[in-house]
Amino acid sequence: MTRQGFDNQKYLTMQSQHIQERIAQFGGKLYLEFGGKLFDDFHASRVLPGFEPDSKIRMLAQMKDKAEIVLVINAADIEKNKVRGDLGITYDSDVLRLIDAFRGMDLYVGSVVVTQYAGQQAADLFQKRLESLGVRVYRHYPIPGYPHNIAQIVSDEGFGKNEYVETTRPLVVITAPGPGSGKMATCLSQLYHEHKRGVTAGYAKFETFPIWNLPLKHPVNLAYEAATADLDDVNMIDPFHLQAYGETTVNYNRDVEVFPVLSAMFEKITGSCPYKSPTDMGVNMAGNCIYDDEACQDAARQEIVRRYYDALCERRQGKDVDHAVYKLELLMQQAGVTTAERCVVAQANQLAEETCEPAMAIELPDGKMVTGKTSELMGCSAAALLNALKALSGVGGHGVHLIAQSAIEPIQTVKVKYLGSNNPRLHSDEVLIALASSANADQKAAQALGVLAQLKGCQAHCSVMLSPPDEMTYKKLGIQLTCEPQYQSNKLYHR
């Protein structure tokens, strides 16, 4: 098993308890801005081994009787069909996906807020669609001078023009498909309206990273900068916390920059600000649940190198990410790592050099290295996958065939003859389907299929950029993949 360093059960207990304490601090009503991903937080699970990707939503599920969800989406993002890079779906589609996911966890979704609404036709259509599905929708409007013109913002012509979002639970979780959706403004607008109605309510922020009680240059915090290299987020010492308490804590630039404005809004709305620093606003307990710091540091260093390879591949694909590449090179230097940190890199590249064909290497949980090379039957990623399953299940090594030729040929025929593919080699997902079909008649194939889950968390590297189907299969299996920024061929068009 991958070396663990994070106590997930302790996290669930501490986090829910701390949030309930914050609710009580504000008299029983808290607007909690959730940054990052509530579902599928794979970054956290990679840099904090032991953290489960669904930890945050499970923590909320423990408080489901007290919590309701309000989803926020920017009208401009609806209008321009903004897409989530990790899922490949538009923000408005993701709102529907999130509502289904929350309801699937028996969490109450109270409403959707469309922010920055200025008559966008696409936003109108989306609102009608939501309302036809029984979802309440509220509109919030652009405020001239936001966020610095406090007098204008905290007035009937600012927050006062926004529609008041009716909520019924003590904990109101404000979340969104992605950044720039207007979560903080929605929270503050609600505080304004609640105060006018004589209701005492508070605001807090949930951000997993950077972890406030880890050192500034701790690899886990550097890995967060690596993850947001394209956004120019920078970790920094919280100067307000240091001045107020004499304690060094870590936050990031946007929260530090906006804190004076936020503090001034609080004072304007309620007469005083309950916080002395951005760190005070946070409720994150993740740093208290690390029990093996070295394991988390090692995992975070791997993540930084992975992010670097991802940026190199994006640049090779023609994306304008030079600034991200340069920043990642600097972060690697600060973390004291090079690409040699990933043992799979040398293994894959060496095999590619020997065979003059694309090659893949996978490091198994026990440190054993398996490789795969390109053949007439399958690509290197599919071959490496099969070899990894052989090694994990102990069914045999080179020369042992888990899939019968008779199972492979029909798939190749369909690909080439009927689906118009020029490449008869099997992709990783196709090999897994062939393996599954062989498992009925072959005990060894069944054994190999039975250890598929053990690939989760393994490291892998390919000497060329994988095709989307292969890359997606590796991601779904939880294999932590990097690729050399090279195409398999010199063609101008690649799929």
How confident is the model over 174-193, as a mean pLDDT? 93
Q: Using one digit for the tens of pLDDT, what is the confidence trace for 407-452?
A: 788 888 888 888 888 777 888 999 999 899 888 888 999 999 999 9
Tell me the pLDDT tens digit for each residue of 288-336.
Answer: 999 999 999 999 999 999 999 999 999 999 998 999 999 999 999 999 9
pLDDT confidence band for 286 (50 / 70 / 90):
very high
Distance CA 422, CA 225 (A): 41
- Once rounded to an integer, what is the mean pLDDT over residues 458-471? 94
CATH of the domain spanning 8-289:
3.10.630.10
Which candidate, 31, 112, 126, places its Cα nearest to that of 73?
Answer: 112
More confident residue, 132 or 84: 132
Angle at 239 between CA 215 and CA 206, to 5 degrees: 65
250/327 Cα distance (integer angstroms): 19
Residue 379 has pLDDT above 80, yes or no: yes
Amino acid at 56: K
Sequence spans of domains, the chain: 8-289, 342-483
Q: Provide the 3-class DSSP secondary structure of residue 86.
A: coil
- 373 by DSSP, 3-state: which? strand
Same fold flag, 8-289 and 342-483 = no
Question: For position 493, what pLDDT does the model report?
Answer: 43
State residue 494's pLDDT score. 44
pTM summary value: 0.89
CB 286, CB 206: distance < 8 Å: no
Strand, helix or coil for residue 317: coil
CATH code matching the domain that covers 342-483, chosen among 3.40.1160.10, 3.40.140.40, 3.40.605.10, 2.30.30.240? 3.40.140.40
Enumerate residues 6+ apart whose C-beta is below 8 A from 392. Answer: 364, 448, 451, 454, 455
Q: Which of 22-31, 405-414, 463-472 has the lowest mean pLDDT?
A: 405-414
Q: How far apart are the first and last CA of the chain?
A: 35
**Rounded CA separation 170/178 (Å):** 24
pLDDT of residue 492: 44
DSSP 15-79: HHHHHHHHHHHTTS-EEEEE-S-SS--HHHHHHSTT--TTHHHHHHHTTTTTEEEEEEEEHHHHH
> Across-strand partners of 363?
369, 459
Closest CA to 395 of 363, 439, 344, 430: 439
Measured in whole angstroms, how far is the alpha carbon of residue 373 from the centre of its chain? 31
* pLDDT value for 1: 54
Of the candidates 70, 319, 311, 35, the one whose C-alpha atom is nearest the C-alpha of residue 178 is 35
Average pLDDT of the chain to the nearest whole number: 92
